[in-house]
Amino acid sequence: MALFGLLNLQKYFKKQKLPSLKERFQSFQALLEANNAALEVMGDMEGKYAQGDYHFDRRYIRDSYNQVREKVLQMIDALNSMVPDRYGLLYEVFEKIDHGIEEKVFGVREIALSPLTIPLEEVTREMGETVGGKSANLGEMRNHVGLPIPEGFAVSAYAYKIFVEKMVFGKEIKKRLAALDIRDQQALDRISHEVREAIHDASIPLELEEAIFQAYNRLSTAVRTGGQGEISVSVRSSAIKEDGDVSFAGQYATVLNVRPDRLLSAYKEVVASKFTPEAIFYWKEKGFNEEDIPMAVGCQAMICARTSGVIFSRDPSHSDPNVVIISAIWGLGELVAERASPNVYVVSKENGLLLEKRIPEQRTMLVCRDSGGVTEVPVPDELQQQPCLNEDEIKKLFRYAMLLEEYYQSPRDIEWAIDSEGKIYILQTRNLKISSGSTETKEEDVEHDPYTDRVLINWGLAAAPGVGAGPVHMVLEDRDLHPFPHGAVLVVKSTHPKYATVMDEASAIITEVGNVAGHMASLARESQVPTIVDAKDATKLLRHGQMITVDAYHNKVYDGLVQELVRGHKRREVEIRGETPLVRKVEELLSRTASLNLWDTKGGSFKPENCQTFHDLTRFMHEVAIQEMFHLHDWKTSSDKQAKQVVSDIPINLYIIDLGGGLSVPDKAGGSVPPEEIVSRPMQALWRGITHPKICWTGMVEVDLKGFASVMLNTLSDSARTGTPLGEKSYAIISKEYMNFSSRLAYHFSTVDAYCSPEVNNNYISFQFMGGGSSSERRSRRVRFIAGVLKNLDFDVEVKGDWLRARLGKYECRAIEQKLDYLGRLMCCARQLDMAMYSDNVVDWYIKAFMQGNYTFKKTVTH
């Protein structure tokens, strides 16, 4: 069991002081509030799933789960506060359900013990939870696919764990990260700075430092030429979950051309990049917690590339399965850092022929410095307008893309580099994010655009297809980004992953510079935000605040709102929802949170250990809490000093205990209170029934001599056996919306427990009745009469001999009040009815008489 569960079990299994009536009631109210909140969130998830047109994201899924989880835990706390030492097992059941959800829905597991570093020759795809997705794929491509991969090693997730837990994180930082509101930019910046500073200032544990340098020395020996010198390496993020269903594209650091003296600082720089404001926003917005994504790190021999780029094994914008797109730039692979407009080569999958080639001018490139690190230099004049790739290189890259798509059985996003000797290396592969929008366009639709006169821009590249409309929000400096108006169109000069912080607010994105292979384009497709990149002069042609419509199917920007295009896109969104990984996660989450397996409250299976979902837990605790409140009268002796006697003409020895809000004058001096000062809704309603004008308190119902003799005989026998006087007190424990009424009328006992509030889910009536002064046969007949009336009033009724239990719930307040009124009448007019029940045949007549308003049961009454 997790530490959390053990601590809570210890907390509640300790001998505790019993709570007062008021404390118990407050815990009960807290349980009801938490129950309603949990059911509301589960209902929202089920409703959105049933609608079929809601686009789920990780943040919604994780937030919904966290809310349900928190409320169920609050219910367990509240129930164990009501009745200490009785329901500690619920913590254990909660832990089991919670762990199953974290593992099956979110894939969260404990970081397993592993070596601190692992050479790539020992890494496979199945080791993603140990070395991260990026390194796992590199090992798979090297060892099983047989592609050229730079040699290297992984610094494991377990290494990250011992580093941050020993040297960086305290409980307070983790708590603040978990509670952080990512919309609060100041708080986000503050905790980001604090965590990154702590990482940079921390010492790497000695065992980790030694493991990193031992791995580096082995790598250096294996790859250096001539047996001399030290090699440079690239240090890249390989966080758990990175390059999975969510890409994390561009969110974490890569440090290039690292010399051994900077190896440890580069490792810390990559670890710290998990906590930049943009990265924190991204992983929290996608529904991850800090512990979900430990930062494993990959170290590889540095390839000081002549040319580098990205391959898409399918067109990511148009979902075209028949082409491969190769993008290339001169120098190091900072294409994905949004620095350049690349060469683009479109290759047919059917025959491998080059279908299209675009060679924009490239003036600058990144190269390795001899002293370490990288620098930007001019592209030689003779290369600026020349293709970055020759025919053989295009064919080989195309072949690698086909091989990887076939091996992984999915479209691939592949990063590559070519060194100075012309050797190609694969640097990374991940699932390619394909935009869900269809872009099948009839030629006449393009030629006969009815809104041609409103076109402001009709060039650029569709990075993420779709249509969006809203006012222009121009961002020329970082300070212009926040606050970002919901529904605005983001217009910027160049692409950058930092814009992920507003993607969930933006209706569309336009950039002057950029490419469809960049990190931001990948994030836009992931977030399904219509995006046009490389739309030159957009910041000059558009005005801040100007209403525009962005058609990222056809790379057009229109002046004003074009409703027909927007509506058409929304219809298309509904059609294409499909069965996505996130929808499957919602289905799995709903099955483990909202499904109800614990139906029968009366059966032997209604136990904590049989709860399989959070809904089962809420069902069990709600029912048990009401049962515990039903027996609240057992606690009355500790509160006799608080009780006030109700003074009325009704011969009931009734005492009121006000838990708060039940009396109009709660602190009134003296020990008595008139009925008109009772303002408790359920007590008022019950009292109206008890004092109904047709209820006769002065006389007795018609009885036969056998019934009367039976009463006297049983009364004397009971009194002698128990020593109990006949005039025992009745108690009503009340609040504004709650009542627990325990009474002895004549020779029987009854208890009414009720909640009556504007919140329908809270409302219920629970009633129990037993006893009497006559024979067992007559008492049983009276119970059958009461059961018949209650069934007519829609109660669920259970009868055993002369014992009865009835329950009714989830009615509106007015209906609850009406049924309590009837229950008050029933309790009073049935008080001596057992003496009149001389045969089974009369029971049905009495039921009918009561339902007709004949509360004195005079057979001469006409209606």
**Per-residue confidence at 565, pLDDT binned at 50, 70, 90?**
confident
The whole-angstrom separation of Cα 761 and Cα 811 is: 8
Residue 702 has pLDDT above 80, yes or no: no
**Per-residue confidence at 320, pLDDT binned at 50, 70, 90?**
low
Q: What is the pTM of this model?
A: 0.56
Residue 718 has pLDDT above 80, yes or no: no
Topology of the domain covering 443-561: Glucose Oxidase; domain 1 (3.50.30)
Q: 389, 370 in Cβ contact below 8 A?
A: no
Q: What is the DSSP letter of 96?
A: H
Nearest to 741 by CA among 755, 750, 752: 752
**Per-residue confidence at 279, pLDDT binned at 50, 70, 90?**
confident
Query: Hey, what amino acid is at 809?
Result: G
Domain ranges of the chain: 111-302, 311-434, 443-561, 643-851
The whole-angstrom separation of Cα 386 and Cα 20 is: 85
Q: Coil, strand or helix: which one is 469?
A: strand
CA dihedral 521, 526, 532, 534 (to 10 degrees): 0
Whole-number pLDDT of residue 723: 36
Q: 115, 95 in Cβ contact below 8 A?
A: no
> Across the chain, what does the average pLDDT equal?
82
% of the chain beyond a pLDDT of 70: 82
**Per-residue confidence at 301, pLDDT binned at 50, 70, 90?**
very high
The whole-angstrom separation of Cα 52 and Cα 277 is: 33
C-alpha distances (whole Å) from 263 to each of 7, 59, 256, 300 are 41, 35, 11, 12
Largest Cα–Cα distance of the chain, in whole Å? 123
CA dihedral 187, 193, 198, 200 (to 10 degrees): 160
Region of 420 please: left (phi>0), alpha (psi -120 to 50) or beta: alpha
Tens digit of pLDDT for each residue in 336-391?
444 567 899 999 999 999 999 989 888 889 999 988 999 999 999 999 999 999 99
Mean per-residue pLDDT for 593-603?
77
Candidates 3.40.47.10, 3.30.1490.20, 3.90.1150.10, 3.30.70.1350; CATH matching 111-302: 3.30.1490.20
| Burial (CB count <10 Å: 0-12, 13-18, 19+), residue 456 | middle
Tens digit of pLDDT for each residue in 804-846?
889 998 889 999 999 999 999 998 888 777 677 778 888 999 9
Both tokens of 125, joined, read: 């795809």
In terms of average pLDDT, the best of 146-155, 450-459, 629-638 is: 146-155
CA dihedral sign of residues 606, 611, 612, 618: positive
Mean per-residue pLDDT for 402-408?
94
Q: Please identify, in words, the CATH class of the domain defined by 311-434.
A: alpha beta
Tens digit of pLDDT for each residue in 6-46?
444 444 444 456 788 888 888 988 998 898 888 888 888 88
Instruction: Say which residue, 174 or 410, is predicted with more confidence.
Output: 410
Whole-number pLDDT of residue 51: 66
